[in-house]
């Protein structure tokens, strides 16, 4: 596994300036907020949301696009954090798109109801669509940051990863950041081009994304899990939070924890 903390440390050292310290305080408040779903906060020890968002350099004034937000884990942090001074855009899948795209077309009814009932924190969420043939996730050259958490393997599965990555490139301002997190495959094993087990080699991901014109500017090991061997009966979904085998060996997989994940930071030149 690739392990380096250098880029994370450089970002953390930058928090000495007063402006960034204030932004960090606001982010800490958003992560610690009472409005967050308890099931989400229980995953913070595996997902490290405050540290990861600081690594990507997000501030309360940023325009941030999150691609396929799924359950809303990150939405519950980002939308309130950006509510007053920035902009949060949820790039959803298409209801009439591929099987994978349609799975990400909406928030769950309960999550959407939560957003509707709390306009002070979630009233400025904008939505766009990212799907095959739909790549306008934000006006061109307008976003400061585009984020995608554990979706690269989905794009590989449906065979359109270059198109999805190109949409992020198009939306970002020059100098904008593309943040990517996904389940890390072993570097000594061939990469399945469809990533059917949910794992992507880190070097493969970097090459794929840099082909779109991005430049890698940092990596972080905040979501690393050396207990994840990647060899599981149901792929990464064998592990929490999915636990695809149900009660079978449940305690074993819970002890392993969530998958080993890379966190990559790219810049649009």
The pLDDT of residue 212 is above 50: yes
User: Beta-carbon neighbour count of residue 32 at 10 Å?
Assistant: 12
Average pLDDT for residues 156-182, to the nearest whole number?
98
Distance, CA of 72 to CA of 42 (rounded, Å)? 14
- Per-residue pLDDT averaged across 120-130, rounded? 98
How far apart (Å, rounded) are the C-alpha atoms in residues 188 and 185? 9
Mean pLDDT of all residues in the chain? 93
Q: What is the pLDDT of residue 16?
A: 39
**Domains of the chain (ranges, CATH numbers):** 6-267 (3.40.50.150)
Q: What angle do CA 124, 127, 128 make, to 5 degrees?
A: 150
Sign of the C-alpha dihedral computed for residues 169, 76, 28 and 123 taken in this order: positive
Residue 9 backbone phi and psi in degrees, to 5:
-65, -40
pLDDT at 14: 37
Question: Is the backbone of residue 213 left (phi > 0), alpha (psi -120 to 50) or beta?
Answer: left
Instruction: Give the model confidence (pLDDT) of 216-257 as tens digits.
Output: 999 999 999 999 999 999 999 999 999 999 999 999 999 999
Half-sphere exposure of 149 (CA within 13 A, CB side): 18
| Cα separations in angstroms, 182 against 15, 81, 114, 148, 261 | 26, 23, 27, 8, 5
Tens-place pLDDT, residues 8-20: 433 433 333 444 4
- In whole angstroms, what separates CA 89 from the centre of its chain? 13
């Amino acid at each position: 596994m690739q392990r380096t903390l250098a880029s994370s440390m450089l970002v953390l050292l930058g928090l000495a300036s007063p402006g960034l310290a204030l932004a960090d305080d606001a982010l800490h408040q958003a992560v610690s907020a009472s409005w967050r779903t308890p099931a989400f906060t229980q995953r913070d020890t595996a997902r490290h949301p405050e540290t990861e968002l600081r690594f990507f350099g997000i501030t309360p004034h940023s325009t941030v696009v999150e691609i396929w937000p799924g359950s809303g884990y990150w939405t519950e942090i980002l939308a309130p954090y950006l509510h007053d001074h920035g902009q949060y855009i949820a790039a959803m899948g298409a209801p009439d798109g591929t099987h994978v795209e349609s799975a990400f077309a909406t928030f769950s009814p309960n999550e959407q109801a939560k957003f509707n009932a709390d306009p002070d924190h979630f009233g400025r969420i904008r939505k766009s669509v990212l799907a095959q043939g739909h790549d306008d996730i934000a006006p061109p050259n307008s976003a400061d940051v585009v984020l995608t958490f554990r979706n690269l393997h989905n794009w590989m599965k449906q065979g359109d990863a270059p198109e999805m990555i190109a949409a992020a490139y198009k939306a970002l301002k020059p100098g904008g950041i593309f943040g990517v997190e996904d389940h890390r495959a072993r570097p000594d094993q061939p990469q399945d081009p469809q990533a059917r087990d949910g794992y992507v080699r880190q070097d493969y991901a970097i090459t794929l994304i840099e082909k779109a014109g991005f430049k890698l500017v940092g990596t972080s090991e905040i979501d690393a899990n050396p207990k994840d061997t990647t060899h599981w009966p149901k792929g990464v979904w064998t592990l929490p939070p999915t636990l695809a085998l149900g009660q079978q060996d449940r305690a074993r997989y819970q002890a392993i924890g969530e998958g080993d994940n890379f966190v990559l930071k790219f810049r649009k030149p």
